[in-house]
A and B are shown apart, each in its own frame.
Chain A
């Protein structure tokens, strides 16, 4: 069953903690993305990667970090430097060349 999987679905973080959101795809896509969505808003690009071991900052990269050690995996770490991390996080993947993107079901992060 091909697809893109995000985990966990819900995540709670204490202030000052780093947390890592998982994103795995078995679609053999080279490009992967992380977006943040606040309630009633659109998607804002955090980071994207077009190839293993390479990634670029999006519009709101501050307070976030990523790695791309494997083609299938693109984990996002929300660091303590991100002052307002409560949001819905979406991961996506696509073939290189600006084709359609496939999305995971999202991770809802709440700071407690």
Chain B
């Protein structure tokens, strides 16, 4: 069973618009991470937010975490065609050692 589920499954926007992706998870977590995957490639780590943090920024990325709702969101501002990729959230559950489990991902297409 997957710990995280992303919403929407697919998102298509115009260049310059903002993209928001959501992630829900089931159990209490140590931290939540977001990754990006270009088609047919490995994943690249974007940002990590700990369970005691509510918001984190990195460049054009903004991540929020609501542990009471067991949810997180990733906002990409001023999107570019090069942001086209799949985005995954991953969680490290409490009491699960190092086990990093992923959701199903959001496929983002940014049209030039």
Contacts and interface: CB of A to CB of B under 8 A. Distances in A.
Contacts of B30: 98
A45 interface: yes
A105 B41 contact: yes
A50 B107 CA distance: 31
A103 B42 contact: yes
- Size category of the binding interface on chain A: 20 to 34
Contacts of B97: 50, 56
A101 B100 contact: yes
Given A56-B99, A100-B48, A105 B42 contact: yes
B102 A42 contact: yes
Contacts of A104: 42
A41 B105 CA distance: 7
Contacts of B100: 33, 45, 48, 92, 94, 98, 101
A104 B37 CA distance: 12
A96 B98 contact: yes
A82 to B, nearest CB: 19
Interface of B: 1-2, 6, 30-31, 33, 35, 40-45, 48, 88, 90, 92, 97-105, 107
Those 5 A-B pairs whose CB atoms lie nearest each other, nearest first: A98-B92, A103-B42, A42-B104, A43-B102, A100-B45
Interface of A: 31, 33, 35, 40-45, 48, 50, 56, 58-59, 88, 90, 92, 94, 96-106, 108
